[in-house]
Amino acid sequence: MPPQIGGLFAFQSAVSVAGAAPSAWLADKAVAVLLLWSIGGTLLGSAPTAHASNIVGMQNRAQALALMRTAGDVGLLSGASVVGAAATLIGSEAAMQTTASFLLCSAASYVLLRR
């Protein structure tokens, strides 16, 4: 078993070495998009957790955060399947636009309905 593991790590290293230059070139071309994506991901990832921590009492905080995490996991699993099916049925561009509109509606409802 150890020789196979060593071979696997050697293959991963070779892929990293071979893919470093093309990945750097792509990152340079898409730096603005990647920056916007990372800022959005940071804001959308941390805001609900901070909000839930603020509105729930100390004794129920762990349960509330666990429930929020579970709901997020279910959403990621089911969302990928639904978007994949929608892309098959109506096309990938329409599926991505629909996903973006759901994300926008979710963010808007969070802002409008917060306590």
Which string of DSSP letters, residue by residue, matches 6-56?
HHHHHHHHHHHHHHHHHHHHHHHHTHHHHHHHHHHHHHHHHHHHHHHHHHS
Query: Which segments of the chain have a pLDDT < 70?
Result: 1-2, 115
The tens digit of pLDDT for each residue in 22-45 reads: 888 888 888 888 788 888 888 777
Quickly count: other Cβ atoms within 10 Å of residue 98's Cβ. Answer: 15
Q: Is the pTM of this model over 0.85?
A: no
- What are the extents of the domains in the chain? 1-55, 57-115
| 57: alpha, beta or left? (left if phi > 0; alpha if psi -120 to 50) | beta
